Amino acid sequence: MRCYLDHVATNPLDPQVFDAMLPYFKEEFGNPLSIYDLGIKARTAIENAREQVGKLINSKPSNIIFTSSGAEANNLALRGLAMAKQSTGKHVLVSKVEHHSILNSARVLEKSGFAVTYLPVDKYGVVDPDVVKSSITKETILVSITHASSEIGSIEPIKEISKITKQKKILLHTDAVATCGNIPVDVNDLDVDALSIAAHQFYGPKGAGALYVREGVRIVPLIYGGIQEGGRRAGTENVPAIVGMGKAAEIAMQRMSDRIAHCQRLRDRIIESILKIPNVYLTGHPENRLPHHASFVVEFIEGEAMLLMLAMKGIYAASGSACSSRALKSSPVLLSLGVQTALAQGSIVFTLGQGNTDAEIDYLLDEFPKVISRLREMSPFAKGWQQGS
Amino acid sequence: MKFVDNVKADVTADIVYMMCPMHLLKLDEMMKKIEKGQILEIMTDYDGALEDIPQWCEKTGNEFIGIHEDEDYFKFYVRKLV
């Protein structure tokens, strides 16, 4: 059996999305800037996708800037908004549970003379709006807090934070890569100035992302060149990917409640069953979390070992963020929750999708305890525990 | 260059940080949208606009009213005549 439980890494492309994209790889290959009919068709397709993505987040189409990824959208937001506002101040707030595309962009800003405050989180990885408020100085120009961390699944209080930033006239960006297309995201309800999206998180293609930027908010581009995206992001557009993103957004709106109900039920089965295994703990918020997200730390063993053994059984999961996992580093997100370094090594994340079945979850829940037992038998750290000392 | 103060614009386009040729494209786009006699204000930090916008007005028969220097960008004022 193959059991794909790593939907925050990426999702399979929806067949309807693939069908929508196909003509733009083949006969409709025109450059959207060309003035003849081939170009007009490509341009019309992009504008249609802009409308579809806009609807998904309740935005005017003109406030959507297509990018190559969620990471590019995050880079553009953090660096572009900070650079545009630097004449009024050079202080930026981000949380400690941000994706690397935010944290590393923040570090680049620090090298360019900005001051960055990395906000702490509680044991569930949630930012306290009062801490945001007390961290704001006269120099603060931008706050960027993720809508939900893909590592721990906790949903952040963006609406509460936006009340503070609005009052202080500070820009607020949220990285909604993990949420957009999976749970309702409304830029007006959240009252954010900028919001990042990635298509492959909701059954769209890789290589397609977007940044919402509220009307009237200035941004310095990362990529200069042509007039694409109103001069805000140059480069000939990836038309098939943008078309796919639009279609995926349209489908996400139609199927969101079904997807949430389906994933949440399976997620709750996983959490309930896995927490019965001794010395396994849930990470992230127990209730206010992504409906398709179940994350744990398993004591005495390493996440990498669990991943490999699960993969041998055809079960695909994740251990922390892809970057931390590859670097064999403890996840900075888990450490920021107060998880001890040794325990943070035993991180495992299961994320569900519309294609997962109860039979797959049965299989996981049968195999995963065996994997833990086998690894604990081999683990020198587990010995004392097994002997009860 | 004509420097002006207190021009009351009917419509404003903010393209600060957008590079060439966005100033000309936005100018063209906005001029199509406004009525004859109305004044368009374009905010840009692109230096090339100092030459391009007056020239565009001359070429198209619209009135270049002048510019206002504001902090670190310019405000260009154009009246639609045709």
Distance CA A245, CA A66 (A): 10
Q: What is the CATH number of the domain that holds A90?
A: 3.40.640.10
Of A31-40, A162-171, A206-215, A377-386, the poorest mean pLDDT is in: A377-386
Establish if B22 touches chain A: CB-CB under 8 angstroms. yes
Q: Do residues A232 and A216 both lie within one domain?
A: yes
Establish if A87 touches chain B: CB-CB under 8 angstroms. yes
Higher pLDDT, A119 or A385: A119
Contact call for residues A127 and A161 (beta carbons, < 8 A) = yes
Q: What is the number of alpha carbons within 13 Å of residue A306 lying toward its C-beta? A: 28
Decide if A368 is inside a domain: yes
Q: At what angle do helices B49-60 and B22-33 cross, to 10 degrees?
A: 40
Contact call for residues A320 and A151 (beta carbons, < 8 A) = yes
Establish if A218 touches chain B: CB-CB under 8 angstroms. yes
Establish if B4 touches chain A: CB-CB under 8 angstroms. no
Total tally of structural domains belonging to chain A? 2
In a mutational test of the A interface, the residue from B19, B25, B27 whose CB has the highest number of chain A CBs within 10 Å is B19
- Could you give phi then psi for residue A97, rounded to 5 degrees? -105, 20
Q: What is the CATH number of the domain that holds A302?
A: 3.90.1150.10
pLDDT at A366 over 70: yes
Of A43-57, A196-210, B12-26, the poorest mean pLDDT is in: B12-26
Query: Nearest CA to A11 among A272, A332, A325, A251?
Result: A251
Q: Which residues contact A337 (CB under 8 A, 6 or more apart)?
A: A97, A121, A122, A123, A124, A125, A152, A283
Q: Do residues A50 and A196 both lie within one domain?
A: yes
Distance CA A228, CA A199 (A): 19
Decide if A387 is inside a domain: no
Query: Nearest CA to A210 among A182, A252, A238, A170?
Result: A238
Distance CA A8, CA A347 (A): 15
In a mutational test of the B interface, the residue from A218, A219, A232 whose CB has the highest number of chain B CBs within 10 Å is A218
Q: Do A221 and B21 touch (CB under 8 A)?
A: no
Strand, helix or coil for residue A164: helix
Neighbours of A258 (CB within 10 A): 10
Q: Do B16 and A218 touch (CB under 8 A)?
A: yes
Here the tokens at position B20 are: 């060439």
CA distance B17 to chain A (A): 5
Distance CA A39, CA A44 (A): 8
Predicted pLDDT of residue A117: 98
pLDDT per position as a tens digit, A25-66: 999 999 999 999 999 999 999 999 999 999 999 999 999 999
The one-character DSSP state at B3 is B
Here the tokens at position A21 are: 């994209």
Query: Nearest CA to A295 among A262, A333, A327, A323?
Result: A333
Question: Which residue's entry shows tokens 């039920």?
Answer: A265
Establish if A230 touches chain B: CB-CB under 8 angstroms. yes
CA angle, residues B37, B42, B43, in degrees to nearest 5: 155
Decide if A297 is inside a domain: yes
pLDDT per position as a tens digit, A324-351: 555 656 788 999 999 988 888 899 999 9
Predicted pLDDT of residue B1: 82
pLDDT at A24 over 50: yes
Q: Do residues A280 and A196 both lie within one domain?
A: no
Question: Which residue's entry shows tokens 């100018």?
Answer: B27
- Give A-chain residues touching B19 at CB under 8 angstroms: 221, 224, 231
pLDDT per position as a tens digit, A265-297: 999 999 999 999 999 999 999 999 999 999 999
How much is the mean pLDDT over chain B? 95
Establish if B39 touches chain A: CB-CB under 8 angstroms. no
The ipTM (two decimal places) reads 0.81
Q: Do B17 and A87 touch (CB under 8 A)?
A: no
Question: Which residue's entry shows tokens 């397609």?
Answer: A208
A257 by Cβ neighbours in 10 Å (0-12 / 13-18 / 19+) ranks as exposed
Beta bridge partners, A316, equal A4
Q: Do residues A237 and A266 both lie within one domain?
A: no
Residue ranges making up the domain that contains A28: 15-251
Distance CA A328, CA A333 (A): 14
Out of A251, A272, A290, pick the residue that ends a domain.
A251
Of A175-184, A235-244, B18-27, the poorest mean pLDDT is in: B18-27
Q: Do residues A181 and A153 both lie within one domain?
A: yes
- Give B-chain residues touching A87 at CB under 8 angstroms: 71-72
Establish if B29 touches chain A: CB-CB under 8 angstroms. no
Q: Which residues contact A387 (CB under 8 A, 6 or more apart)?
A: none
Active site annotation includes A323: yes
Out of A233, A251, A269, pick the residue that ends a domain.
A251
Q: Do residues A117 and A186 both lie within one domain?
A: yes
User: A389 pLDDT band (50/70/90 cuts)?
Assistant: very low
In a mutational test of the A interface, the residue from B11, B12, B17, B20 whose CB has the highest number of chain A CBs within 10 Å is B17
Decide if A186 is inside a domain: yes
Positive/negative CA dihedral, A278, A283, A289, A291 = negative
Using only C-alpha atoms, chain B has a radius of gyration, in whole angstroms, of 11
Q: Do residues A213 and A278 both lie within one domain?
A: no
Predicted pLDDT of residue A322: 52
For chain A, counts of helices (H) and of strands (E):
15, 12
**What proportion of chain A, given as a percentage, has pLDDT over 70?**
96
The bridge status of strand A91-95 relative to strand A209-213 is unpaired
In B, minimum Cα distance to A220 occurs at: B17
Out of A251, A283, A310, pick the residue that ends a domain.
A251
Q: Do residues A240 and A264 both lie within one domain?
A: no
Span B26-48, average pLDDT: 96
Q: Point out the catalytic residue in the list A3, A180, A263, A323.
A: A323
List C-alpha distances in Å: A348 to A107, A305, A306.
27, 10, 8
Query: Nearest CA to A179 among A163, A204, A152, A155?
Result: A155
Decide if A389 is inside a domain: no
CB-closest option in B14, B17, B18 to A216: B14
CB-closest option in A216, A218, A227 to B17: A218
pLDDT at A172 over 80: yes
Span A208-220, average pLDDT: 97
Q: Do residues A291 and A247 both lie within one domain?
A: no
pLDDT per position as a tens digit, A64-105: 999 999 999 999 999 999 999 999 999 999 999 999 999 999
Span A202-206, average pLDDT: 98
pLDDT at A381 over 90: no
How much is the mean pLDDT over chain A? 95
Q: Do residues A230 and A268 both lie within one domain?
A: no
Q: Do A87 and B72 touch (CB under 8 A)?
A: yes
Q: Do residues A231 and A290 both lie within one domain?
A: no
In A, minimum Cα distance to B29 occurs at: A230
Q: Which residues contact A347 (CB under 8 A, 6 or more apart)?
A: A151, A283, A295, A296, A297, A298, A303, A319, A320, A331, A334
Decide if A307 is inside a domain: yes
Predicted pLDDT of residue A388: 52
pLDDT at B4 over 50: yes
List C-alpha distances in Å: A59 to A43, A62, A74, A324, B49.
20, 8, 18, 34, 31
Query: Nearest CA to A3 among A370, A364, A300, A280?
Result: A364
Amino acid residing at A198: A
pLDDT per position as a tens digit, B42-55: 999 999 999 999 99
Q: Do residues A174 and A80 both lie within one domain?
A: yes
Distance CA A86, CA A292 (A): 39
